[in-house]
Every structure is written in structure tokens, then in C-alpha cells.
Amino acid sequence: MRTEVISITRDLPEWEAVSHAALVIASGGIVCFPTDTVYGFAASIYSERAVANLRRIKSRGAGEPFVVIVDDAGWVSELARRITKAHLRLMSEHWPGPVTILFEASEAAPAYVTGGGDTIGVRVPNDTLSQCILGACGVPLAAPSANPRGKEPAVTPGEVLEMFGGKIDLLLDGGPVESAAPSTIVAVRSGRVVVVREGRVPIAGKAV
């Protein structure tokens, strides 16, 4: 497979490129583009084939979950079984932005996305390109960072092609991103905010 590459302006994305990316995703393909953290992949959470392909190219086991990005916090009511006051506070303080929040997964959250576990990680990105693609797709996207296991996430289109050229359908070339730090992942456990993965936004664990 040959990876298609389209240049795009991140702060004022060309609609033709965005709509093409949405069509690729709708057909079960995998797109890579610069987000508010690093270069990341995008596949529809409702395409089991696309998510299986993500697992293959990321060398990620069947029991490992994928972070999901959405364009609006309203999606949480569909993907999460329970939203606590602590979750609402985290959402209010950190969305949109590079913070992924873990929720108890609802029945609507596909098991092949959650890795068969009982939680789902969701975030609302804070950049124009991600929001445009999410809006054009109209569905939540499985969105892991563009890196194979054990390597740093790609921060340039060249790094994406070096690692994944011929393995993904489309790369939107938006130039280099500013940081190699992925999103911070937090959970609410026993009345405390717990940092599951350190990332771009420092968050101190605390009682809530």
C-alpha cells in the first residue's frame, strides 16, 4: 500500500483535505495528522477492521485500549456508564486540551477499542485541525500517537513516513509539532484524581 500525503494548514485547514480524510476514515482507513500533542493516528471506533489495523501497525496487544478523541464533551454520555462530579470538574478544567480522562465504559464503547477492559479514555483536543476532522467524520476516533512500541511519538511528517510509510492510508502533512509529549491520562479512583500517564499537562494527584 502506498501512503497518500496531502499538505494542510493546521490553523486554517483546507476543506478538501479534511473531507478527503473523513472519507478515508469512513471507509475503514487510517489517517495520520498533527494534533495538539504529537502526530497521531485516527480510525473510526465503529470500524473493527480499522482498529485491528491500528493494533497491527502499533504492535499493540488485543487487551490494550486505545484513547478516543471526540469533538465535544457530549459524547461522554454515550461512551461512559457513569460520570461523577469529579469527572465533570476535570472535564471543565482541562477540556478541550491534552488531557485524557478515564471513565467506566458503557455498552456503546466497542470492546475492541477498550481492549475488553471496563474503562475508556476520552479527550477533546484543542486544535483546529483535529476539531475539523472530528466534525467532518461525525464519530469518535481511536487516536493513538504515531509511534511503534518502545519509540518516541512522531513530531514531523518525515518521522511518520519513516516509521509507517506504506502502512497507513493517508498522512496530512501539517509540518512539525512543538512537543513530543502525549496527552496526560488521569482517572478518578477512591475519591482521588490519579495520574495514570504523565504527559503534556502536569496534574497533581489530589482528593476530589
For every residue of 74-103, DSSP letters joined together read: GGHHHHEEE--HHHHHHHHHH-SSSEEEEE
Count of helix runs (H) and strand runs (E) in the chain: 7, 12
pLDDT at 207: 46
Contact 8, 173 (CB under 8 A): yes
Question: Tens of pLDDT along 116-148?
Answer: 999 999 999 999 999 999 999 999 999 999 999
Q: Predicted confidence band at 203 (pLDDT cuts at 50, 70, 90)?
A: confident
Contacts 24+ apart (CB under 8 A), 17-21: 17/172, 18/129, 18/132, 18/133, 18/136, 19/136, 20/170, 21/133, 21/136, 21/170, 21/172
Report if residue 202 sits inside a domain: no
Residue 206 has pLDDT above 70, yes or no: no
Report if residue 200 sits inside a domain: no
Question: Tens of pLDDT along 28-57?
Answer: 999 999 999 999 999 999 999 999 999 999
Q: How many domains in the chain? A: 1
Residue 1 has pLDDT above 70, yes or no: yes
Instruction: Tell me if the pTM is above 0.85.
Output: yes
Question: For 87-96, 98-107, 195-204, which range has the lowest pLDDT when averaged over its residues?
Answer: 195-204
Report if residue 145 sits inside a domain: yes
Report if residue 79 sits inside a domain: yes
Report if residue 194 sits inside a domain: no
Report if residue 207 sits inside a domain: no
- What percentage of residues in the chain have a pLDDT greater than 90? 89
Q: Which of 28, 42, 24, 29 is nearest to 130 (CA)?
A: 42
Q: Which domain holds residue 137?
A: 4-183
Q: Predicted confidence band at 20 (pLDDT cuts at 50, 70, 90)?
A: very high
The whole-number average pLDDT for the span 150-175 is 96
Contact 181, 155 (CB under 8 A): no
Cis peptide upstream of residue 96 (ω within 30 degrees of 0): yes
pLDDT at 208: 47
**In this structure, which amino acid lies at residue 76?**
V
Report if residue 159 sits inside a domain: yes
- CA geometry: angle 37, 140, 89, nearest 5 deg: 65
pLDDT at 205: 58
How far, in Å, CA of 73 to CA of 60, rounded? 27
CATH number at residue 58: 3.90.870.10
Q: How far apart are the first and last CA of the chain?
A: 49
Report if residue 161 sits inside a domain: yes
